Structure 1
C-alpha cells in the first residue's frame, strides 16, 4: 500500500504512519510475566514484552481500539497512554466505559481531519469474538476500514479479534481491501476446550479467498499464552494455498517497514 509505514510492536499493537498521521492499534505495552483475568474463568499470561516502549513511541494522533475489556488488546500501560492520544475510537460500549472516546457500532463511520493532511475515513466492521451466542460473554469488538484520498487499490482493513463468520465475510462484499491486518492466533482457553475466539490460519486463508486483498499482514499471533497458532502454523497454511499464499507479508517486531 502506497505511502504506508507499519511498525509491529507486539500482539495486536501496530503503529500505522500515513501522510503525516500516526495511528496506533490496540495498545499493549506491559512487561511480560503477569497473568491477566479475562472473565468467566479464563485467564492468560503475557509471555513477551513490546518491541518499543510507550515512552519511545512518540505522539499518537488516534488510537484504533478494537475493544477495551481484554488485556491482550488494552493492558495497563496501554490504558495509561490513551489520554495522550488525540482521539480514541472504539466500540460504543467501550466508549461509555472509557469516556472521552468516539464509540462506533458496525458500519458506523467517523473521520479524522487535520489541516495539511488528507482526511481519513474510518468505518467500523463487524466482529464476533467467539462462537455463536458468545457476545454477552466476550463483549463487543469491532474492526476498522481506513480510507483516504489517493488509495489506488482499496482500504486498509484491521480485522479485530474475531472468528470467521458471516459478519466478517460481509466485509468482502462491502469494502475493497488493499492491505489487511488480520488478528489470528486461534485463541482458546482450557476451560472452554476446543472453542475458538479468534481466527485460525485456515480461517485466514478462507477469508482471503473471498476478500482478495493485495497484501495480508498477520498480527495477534504471538506473545500470549492463549495464542495457540503462531507464525509457523500461519506460514504452513498459506504455503498450502497457492491461490492466496503469496499475499502474506510478515513484519519484524520493531522498526517500521513499508508493507508494499
Structure 2
C-alpha cells in the first residue's frame, strides 16, 4: 500500500481493489464504494486483500458514491467512516438515511449537480437502477432484489459520459440505461460473479464475465474498466475470466486493465 498522495489527473480512473475506484473528472475527485479495511473476516464474507492506496493518500475528495451500504464488500468499516466524513455522499434513499447528514439520497433517474473545479459548469451525477441478483430473485418490500443498489452516470460539458454499474447483474437494466442515457463513453463495470450459497441458489449477485462483455456491447462504450473481481473470497470469477470473455466476444480492444492504483484515461 502506497503512502504517497495519489497524483491528480485530468480525466481518469484508478481501481484500488474490490469495487473501490477513484475518478478524477472535471477538476473533481470522486471515490466510489470505498473499502479500506485490511484483509480479514466481515461476517459471512472474507476480505483477502487491502486497497492499493490508503484513504489517507487520496487528498481532498469532493464526492463519495456509495452504490449500497449494507454489504461490507462495498462499504467496509473504514470505508463507512471515510464516507461519513466526506463533504458529499451520493447514494440511494435508503442508504442515505443510514449514512448521515452529508448523504444525498437519489431515486433512480434523479440527479445531483456538483460545481466543477475546472470552470466547466457542473458535473451531473445521475442515479440509475441496479439489480443485485437474478431477475427472478425475490424482491423486498421496496421492490429490490437483495437490497437497494444504485448505479451512477457522470456527465458534463466537454467530459466523457461515465457509467458506474454498482453491483448489478441485470443486462435488462443495462439496456434501460443505454436507452435512456445514449452516448456513454466509458463504463466502470462491477464484475466478479459474486456468489453467496445461501442467496438465490448461489446464482451470481453481480455480473459474470460474459455478462460484463454483453453489457459493454449494449452500452456501445469506447472504454470498459472492470472492478469488483478480486479481494474477496465470494468473487467466483477473476481477471483471466474477464479477459477471456472479452476476447471471445471480439471486444478485447475495449477493456482497460491496469495494476490497482494505476490510472486509466476515461477518454477514448
TM-score (norm 1): 0.91
Residue 114 to residue 204, structure 1, CA distance change in 2 (3 Å): closer
Query: What RMSD, in angstroms, separates the aligned Cα atoms of the two structures?
Result: 1.7
Q: Deviations over 1:149-170 (max 9, x none)?
A: 113xx51110110112422220
Residue 23 of structure 1: aligned partner:
30
Deviation at 1:210, TM superposition (A): 1.5
CA distance in 2, matches of 1:58, 1:114: 17
Residue 163 of structure 2: aligned partner:
157
CA distance in 2, matches of 1:139, 1:50: 25
Q: Where in structure 1 are there 5+ consecutive unaligned residues?
A: 38-42
Residue 93 of structure 2: aligned partner:
92
Deviation at 1:80, TM superposition (A): 1.1
Residue 220 of structure 1: aligned partner:
228
CA distance in 1, matches of 2:56, 2:12: 20
Q: Could you say what secondary structure the match of 1:217 adopts?
A: strand
Q: Is 2:254 the counterpart of 1:247? A: yes
CA distance in 1, matches of 2:74, 2:91: 12
CA distance in 2, matches of 1:222, 1:232: 11
CA distance in 2, matches of 1:160, 1:116: 27
Q: Could you say what secondary structure the match of 2:70 adopts?
A: coil
Deviation at 1:114, TM superposition (A): 5.0
Shifted more, 186-195 versus 211-220: the winner is 186-195
Q: Is 2:130 the counterpart of 1:122? A: no
Whether the 8 Å contact between 2:174 and 2:219 is mirrored in structure 1 is: no
CA distance in 1, matches of 2:77, 2:12: 26
Q: Deviations over 1:228-250 (max 9, x none)?
A: 000000101111111x2311111
Match of 2:105 among 103, 123, 134: 103
CA distance in 1, matches of 2:39, 2:75: 14
Whether the 8 Å contact between 1:249 and 1:259 is mirrored in structure 2 is: no
Residue 32 of structure 1: aligned partner:
39
Q: Is 2:263 the counterpart of 1:256? A: yes
Q: Is 2:74 the counterpart of 1:66? A: no
Q: Is 2:204 the counterpart of 1:203? A: no
Q: Deviations over 1:119-163 (max 9, x none)?
A: 100111110101224442621001000001113xx5111011011
Q: Is 2:237 the counterpart of 1:229? A: yes
Q: Where in structure 2 are there 5+ consecutive unaligned residues?
A: 1-8
CA distance in 2, matches of 1:75, 1:134: 25
Deviation at 1:52, TM superposition (A): 0.7
Whether the 8 Å contact between 2:39 and 2:50 is mirrored in structure 1 is: yes
Residue 76 of structure 2: aligned partner:
75
Residue 112 of structure 1: aligned partner:
114
Deviation at 1:259, TM superposition (A): 4.1
Match of 1:142 among 150, 158, 161: 150
CA distance in 2, matches of 1:147, 1:234: 26
Residue 150 to residue 116, structure 1, CA distance change in 2 (3 Å): closer
